Amino acid sequence: MDDVQFAARELTISLSVEEGVGREGHRCRMDVLTCAGEVDLVSEPVFREALGRLKTSDVIVDLSGLTFIGAAGINALIEIAEQRRASGTVRLRDEPAILRRVLTVLDVPPNLIRNHPPSR
């Protein structure tokens, strides 16, 4: 996948690929979606579209640049994990502490992995 950029009013997203260890424990290529800014009601459709473009079975969503994520954005993350439940994982990298707390309370799919380490 070529590096792809998406943008909304307060959100910038880029898509790239990196090597990692997949669900089955073997090395594989993973799509990486990197977010910066806010995922709110206005930018959520752009966020959802970018999540829909992730093609590898195991994917990483890097939230290190995220400053806000609303209910619609959280719902989009849970839905993409539900869609990939049988075939892969959605790994969150550097998610904000408040998002970690919300996901702890919610019944999230087991393939939505939190605190994924950064690439080396």
Say how many domains are in the chain: 1
CATH of residue 58: 3.30.750.24
Give the pLDDT score at 119: 61
Separation CA 82–CA 1 (nearest Å): 23
Domain that residue 58 falls in: 4-113
pTM score, whole prediction? 0.87
Look at residue 25 and tell me if it is in a domain.
yes
Residue 120 makes CB contacts below 8 A (sequence gap 6+) with none
Tens-digit pLDDT string for the chain (120 aa): 455 566 566 899 999 999 988 877 889 999 999 999 999 998 999 999 999 999 998 999 999 999 999 999 999 999 999 998 888 899 999 998 889 889 889 888 888 888 777 665
Look at residue 120 and tell me if it is in a domain.
no
Nearest CA to 108 out of 86, 87, 72, 80 is that of: 80
Look at residue 39 and tell me if it is in a domain.
yes
